[in-house]
Chain A
């Protein structure tokens, strides 16, 4: 059995991952890696291919092409010992509704006991885990009586009960109130900091991605259009800057392409003596992302877009 020291430093290695349904490419060559203990957010509008990508990594879906390695194993050939090291939290689950919270966690935990190693005690102590996700008071409640948020907390607990080395979350905080959301973010930090757990989280919430992730991957139409920290993304994704100024009693606007409007402004000032009220405005990461989401929701494809606000230079591998 693999001990922690044998685990490669790269927990997740995805190269040119492709998924095609008929003639439609859901994933058109996705490449990224994740180091052990790293928290990655897979961000993108609905239909960008997030869930498909995650399901391939979880071993629940076959890919069309590309190389994938999760904890050193191809998920398509992952055996039960590999399965024991992987945690899965899906979008919505309604299972085991007549079971009690503690009963189900204890039952599922039993399967992981044979996979304990010297470094990782498996399964997670049920009471400790319930406390960690804030479900201690509902331990003996029937699952069908839980509120939506409590049910979600239970799903998170189940995903963690085997003390996974990598966890896949698909929209984990859907239905969480702000308080529960913050609890969840704390939990993610704890998993990554104390247990060195690698986390890949699919979300369409930029705010959440900025808060919890070391790195954000932006997926759009089956392609990774950005990969980097929130700061790097802000600089690289938002290449459009708008320069406004007044001259001759009139207000002018220029959309500077290429990210750096300095040259344009220098020129402007040299050639035009009466420029006043100069103003440079750079789109925020949020605005850029919203534009991406809006475009995806209106059904326009990237290739067909001639909208000047949408950054064209999207290939920003950090």
Chain B
């Protein structure tokens, strides 16, 4: 049994999938999109290429292999946090959200579209660094375990960051604040992924472990690194915690995001749009 209302929602979900596909394509064909999504992967590949002959003393790992998990973690976390937060903030400012509101079930289509765009764009960003990385970096412990753990880490990473990204996008005041999210994310990634955690002072170790970024990084490392590298971790791979901390963030985000998004969307109107635009204009 399908009621007319249910059928209309089904149509909106399907339209949302097309929307996600169209906007993903735009992310990789528009200049802005290429700079944001392709450039970091290119930089990562070049860095790994230049370090591929440099083998770490006492291991089989090349320096390139040491960098790969960091780049992968960066692709997942920025894809999950920055893409939705920046997207929602600018969609609010240019009227995309208001358009969705003026369309029957348009918000549903918009949200599905946003989720699909984030997932596809991030997945492509991860692939852009993973595929060349696996060919360049030597000494990695790759196998079936790698595939399973990487997939799990990707899903965990997305579920724990996208809702937070949506919530952040809903509370940012204007597009001039968009760079705040990648800035903070990058700082967090540098501290918690590119530096071995054993080197950090104890208080910073605790701080870093409170965010999903560290656990995504750990997940990627445990998927690719040989067992002897566990020495650089805090004694073990920590598989349980790997899911526990991100799960708390996911629950927090999933609880918060719909409330903040709804509150923000309710405020959208033509005059609100004009007000927001004037403020941005006067700041320039």
Contact = CB atoms under 8 A, between A and B. Distances in A.
Nearest to A171: B270
A158 B99 contact: yes
A96 B96 CA distance: 6
B8 interface: yes
A61 interface: yes
Contacts of B202: none
B81 interface: no
A93 B8 contact: no
Interface stretch (B18-26, B46-54, B214-222, B252-260): B18-26
Nearest to A99: B22
Contacts of A91: 270, 274
A111 B273 CA distance: 23
Interface stretch (B100-108, B124-132, B226-234): B100-108
A98 interface: yes
Interface in B11-31: 11-12, 14-15, 18-19, 22-23, 26, 30
B102 A83 contact: yes
B99 A80 contact: no
Interface residues of A, number: 35
A93 B99 contact: yes
B7 A114 contact: yes
A107 B269 contact: no
Contacts of B269: 55, 58, 60-61
Given A92-B273, A93-B99, A107 B5 contact: no
A27 B277 CA distance: 24
A61 B272 CA distance: 10
Contact of A81 (B4, B14, B268, B277): B4
Given A81-B5, A83-B104, A111-B104, A90 B98 contact: yes
B271 interface: yes
Interface in B232-284: 268-271, 273-274, 277
Interface string B115-138: 000000000000000000000000
Contacts, number: 97
Nearest to A122: B104
A125 B4 CA distance: 22
A111 B106 contact: yes
A52 B15 CA distance: 31
Nearest to B23: A98
A60 B102 CA distance: 9
Contacts of B96: 95-96
Contacts of B8: 80-81, 84, 111, 114-115
Contact of B104 (A55, A60, A107, A115): A115
B270 A95 contact: no
Interface residues of B, number: 34
Contact of B103 (A52, A60, A108, A114): A108
Contacts of B5: 80-81
Contacts of A61: 269
A112 interface: yes
A149 B284 CA distance: 25
A94 interface: yes
Contacts of A4: none
Interface string A97-118: 1110001000110111111000
Contacts of A270: none
B109 interface: yes
B274 A92 contact: yes
A99 B30 CA distance: 11
Interface string A50-73: 011011001011000000000000
Contact of B12 (A55, A96, A111): A111
B104 A51 contact: no
B99 A51 contact: no
Contacts of B95: 90, 92-95
A263 interface: no
B104 A162 contact: yes
A318 interface: no
Contacts of A95: 91, 94-96, 98-99
Contacts of B109: 111
A131 B41 CA distance: 44
Interface of A: 1, 51-52, 54-55, 58, 60-61, 80-81, 83-84, 88, 90-99, 103, 107-108, 110-115, 158, 162, 170
Sorted nearest first, the 7 A-B pairs with minimum C-beta distance are: A114-B8, A60-B269, A84-B104, A90-B270, A95-B96, A95-B95, A80-B104
